[in-house]
Amino acid sequence: MAIAYFRCMMCGHEWEDEVERGDDVERTCTKCRSNSIRQFKSKPEPKE
């Protein structure tokens, strides 16, 4: 298991979650339920 970081492109919400290598699960934003998500392997730089 590894930690991945996610950012919603609709509302800007950021969170982290455990992922398995090769895991291809469709995720939704935990705040607005949008499926427009970007995944990062390391913590993303804060948006200004």
- Write out pLDDT tens, residues 1-48: 788 899 999 999 999 998 887 777 888 999 999 999 998 877 766 665
The tokens describing 19, both together, are 């992922």
Output the pLDDT for position 26: 86
| Other Cβ atoms within 10 Å of 28 Cβ, number | 13
Cα distances (angstroms) measured from residue 42 to each of 24, 25, 36, 38: 18, 19, 19, 12
Residue 44: the pLDDT is 65
Sorted by where each begins, the domain ranges of the chain are 2-40
pTM, 2 dp: 0.74
Residue/partner pairs of 12-19 with CB below 8 Å, 24 or more apart:
12/47, 14/44, 16/43
